[in-house]
Amino acid sequence: MDVPELLESASLLVPEETATENDITVRDIWDYLVHDEWEIALGLLEELGDGRSLPLAFWEKLADAAEQLRLERSAAWCHWRCSEIRHGVIRADLTLRPAAEARRTTAISGAGVLRPMWDIGHLSPTGGRAVSIASLWVEDMPYLEPGGRATVRLVPLRRRFLWRKVSLCWYDESC
């Protein structure tokens, strides 16, 4: 499928009554599609999808369209949302320690490339603490600086892990 077909197909998966915070609806997106404003239509469809739970096929079509348009961050976000649907997600507020108080002195990437270990309450076969690995996406920021705070999205790399008790483990003596 080409970009317009992918976007049209994705838009058909959005209920008509769905609207963004600015009251943009699927009908408005069709106007952008008619005028070949594909990037705008893609962004608005992503926004519609963020406000409501939409099927995996919606995000897969948007990811394909973003890849064809060579919009790397948008494609990464759409693939991320596919992972959330497949594996589950938890949103959390994360505050990094200031650089002077921690080993990390550089910003972390916000685009889902970081895979920190998280203590979610599992035990190892010997009864000790077991940590799990989850991908991390920082909402609305390309990077999170030391000392910074943001809402993050966590997707476990193994579906079988349940999110009960969550605490971050950054390879330091507190883990």
Which CATH number characterizes residue 158's domain? 2.40.30
Residue 69 sits in the same domain as residue 107: no
Q: If you average pLDDT over residues 55-73, what whole number do you get? A: 97
Please tell me whether residues 32 and 100 are part of one structural domain.
no
Residue 12 and residue 79 share a domain: yes
Residues 106-147 pLDDT 10s: 999 888 888 887 776 777 888 888 887 888 999 989 999 999
The two structure tokens encoding residue 98 = 């200031």
pLDDT of residue 52: 76
Is 175 domain-assigned? no
Same domain, 111 and 67: no
Distance set, CA 165 to CA 90, 95, 135, 171 (Å): 11, 17, 17, 18
Residue 53 — pLDDT band, cuts 50, 70, 90?
Answer: confident
Percent helix, strand and coil across the chain, each to the nearest 5: 35, 20, 45
Both structure tokens of 149: 């705070």
Which pLDDT value is given to residue 175? 40
Task: Indicate whether 172 pLDDT > 50.
Answer: no
